[in-house]
Amino acid sequence: MRATFTLVGREGIAALSNRRIAAEAGVSLGSLTYHFTSQTELLRESLSLYVEEEVTRLEAIAAELRARRPAREEVAAEVQRLVAESAGRPQQIAEIELHLQAARDPALREASSRCFAAYEGVAVAALAALRIDDPERHAPAVVALMTGMSLKREGTGVNDAAAFVDALRTLLRGARRRSQR
């Protein structure tokens, strides 16, 4: 499943073949086809595995933010670090590909939704740490910004984590103004 995810990130869903997946995974073709009856099943299982791991990672980040209650600049530095780290990773591109595949395959939508819910959980924790009123309301906008900026970064090849942080600060200023009314 990880080999499938790696190939999707490196070459796209259209480049998948059982032979390529088996070679990437270091298993026999027969073993692959025995365990997975179709590439659709393998894609679903790959996304599910990724989501499980990503949700665990994101929940740990959210718990750490809630426990530590960092200052604004600490949150900005952590966001910038996370954005910079994720640039150019095959997993980042594979995640985008698989979310798009979920638009075509309803069986993938639950896993895609769980992944986005985990991102929103981190956003809620970060917004609460920054003392933004009604963080649950603003979290989807933060996730939309994050997703759009990730797509732009991967599509253009320009890794400007500082631009993401600036855009996030602009969004948060608007949220603060709204909560001060």
List the chain domain ranges.
47-180
What pLDDT, on a 0 to 100 scale, did the predictor assign at position 103? 92
181 vs 177: CA distance, rounded Å: 7
In tens, the pLDDT along 59-93 reads 888 888 788 878 777 877 777 777 777 766 777 88
Question: Model confidence at 19, in pLDDT bands (50, 70, 90)?
Answer: very high
Q: For 88, what's the count of Cα atoms within 13 Å in the CB-facing half-sphere?
A: 7
Overall pTM surpassing 0.85 (yes/no): no
Neighbouring residues of 28: CB distance < 8 A, sequence distance ≥ 6: 22
CATH homologous superfamily of 47-180 equals Tetracycline Repressor, domain 2 (1.10.357.10)
Is the pLDDT confidence value at 94 over 80? yes
Is the pLDDT confidence value at 23 over 90? yes
Question: Model confidence at 144, in pLDDT bands (50, 70, 90)?
Answer: very high
49 vs 3: CA distance, rounded Å: 12
In tens, the pLDDT along 99-114 reads 888 898 888 888 889 8
